[in-house]
Amino acid sequence: MGDSLLPYAAVGALVYVLTLADLRLGLGLTMLCIALSPELPPEVGIANLRLEDLLLPGVVLSWLVRMARERQAFEPTPLQVPILLYLLLAAVSALHAVSLGGADAVRSVFFYGKVAEYFVFYLVFLNNVRTPEEARAFGVCALVAAGVLGVWGIHDFLVGGEAFAYGKMSGPPGETSNVLGGYFVFHLCLAIGVLVEMEGTGKRLVLVGYLLLLFVPFLLTLSRTSYAALFGALVTVGLLRRRSLLLWMFAAVMVLPYFVSESVLARAATIFDIFGDSPPSSWSARVYAWDIFGRRALAHPLLGLGVGTVSPGRVDNGYLHMLVETGIPGTIAFLWFLGATLLLAHRAHVGHAGQPFLRGLALGFLCGTVGLMLHAFGAPTFTAIRTMEPFMVLLGVVTVLANRAGEWGGEGRAAAGAEARASDLMIVTTDAAKSPTPSPKPQ
């Protein structure tokens, strides 16, 4: 082992000890690693390896030991079927490609393992959030981790660090500004959701300060895809859940030009050039790549080319990337997963009337999911480590919120549960919307 790897080994050993001593602490450290860990140096011998990849086995081991000791059952999840179906279809696609010689076996195993790892993160957090206080702590931890990354970005901007080597903020080594922008979109949405539901002037002022802190590095990414995704997410959730968001957005758009740099304004203005005769060169390159890979997807509609056959940077469209690699069935399974996630977040939101932070966290997650779905039209959002890992971690927390709505809802939880059930029925079928909602059973 080279000297350059010794710091990573020392940090890893310490984190393992802490994780085995207290699983909750290990989960919190995992969230910090997701936000701050760069890719490990090439001396490791494995590409795209990060600290949380090394930490995850220890977390899983600690969790399994805890389950066996306490005879704990697995937490139920309505996402089980689409997740298993997608993983099965992705595995079949990879095996088919390898068997025909169209994909490298090692590369396919690595990329499929990374996809499976995202869902392992989900299972770990799903099965280790037991109280409202723990759910709240993990939500705060996610926001704090993103805030630390934002402070690092502002610092690098002021001192002219490596993150701004190309004139815009990028992530740790191996990460583009576009993907980092998606990370900020998700966490800005989380904070906005909490702000909308939170009570108390002091708490709201803290959240406003946090949003300003995170908004600065978000703008410095100069990611037009991320700008459009955040705008679209807030408009969507504003129309569906909170019309007041639209008023705040209008005010922000009117005031923002007086406080941001010319480079940011010029970059944002070019978003509309894609509809003109002279679109940005990056947009033209994307359309050209989409045409090429779209033809490949049509040539292999059932099983695709196999997981790991297309580098994420070559197709800046998460849906097309998935279609090329897993075919139409795999893409449909993942879209089913995303649709079920939106319903789950909605149920978690309406089921926590007496818990402002948890209700706001669920609303923010709903908003953030919409943001990532929009972001995926211009970035490999659903394959990138930076965006998928925090998304799956918070999805585990929000799933527990949906499962525990009747227990943790606080004041008016019976009414909130009735609202959740009625809302689900309205979304699934219009006929149910016309049916009278049954009264909640007396306690």
Note the pLDDT of residue 42. 56
Note the pLDDT of residue 337. 97
Note the pLDDT of residue 362. 94
Note the pLDDT of residue 340. 97
Q: What is the pLDDT of residues 181-201, one digit of tens each?
A: 999 999 999 999 999 888 888
Give the residues of the chain that fall short of pLDDT 70: 1-9, 11-12, 37-48, 160-166, 172-174, 312, 409-443
Domain segments of the chain as ranges: 1-73, 79-411
The token duo for 181 is 């922008």
- Three-state SS letters, the chain: CCHHHHHHHHHHHHHHHHHHHCHHHHHHHHHHHHHHCCCCCHHHCCCCCCHHHHHHHHHHHHHHHHHHHHCCCCCCCCCHHHHHHHHHHHHHHHHHHHHCCCCCHHHHHHHHHHHHHHHHHHHHHHCCCCCHHHHHHHHHHHHHHHHHHHHHHHHHHHHCCHHHCCCCCCCCCCCCHHHHHHHHHHHHHHHHHHHHHCCCHHHHHHHHHHHHHHHHHHHHCCCHHHHHHHHHHHHHHHHHCCCHHHHHHHHHHHHHHHCCCHHHHHHHHHHHHHHCCCCCHHHHHHHHHHHHHHHHHHHCCCCCCCCCCCCHHHCCCHHHHHHHHHHHHHHHHHHHHHHHHHHHHHHHHHCCCCCHHHHHHHHHHHHHHHHHHHHCCCCCCCCCHHHHHHHHHHHHHHHHHHHCHHHHCCCCHHHHHHHHHHHHHHHHCHHHHHCCCCCCCCC
Note the pLDDT of residue 361. 95
Note the pLDDT of residue 418. 47
Note the pLDDT of residue 390. 94
Note the pLDDT of residue 126. 94
Note the pLDDT of residue 200. 84
Note the pLDDT of residue 281. 75
Note the pLDDT of residue 412. 42
Note the pLDDT of residue 172. 67
Note the pLDDT of residue 443. 39
Note the pLDDT of residue 40. 62
Note the pLDDT of residue 417. 46
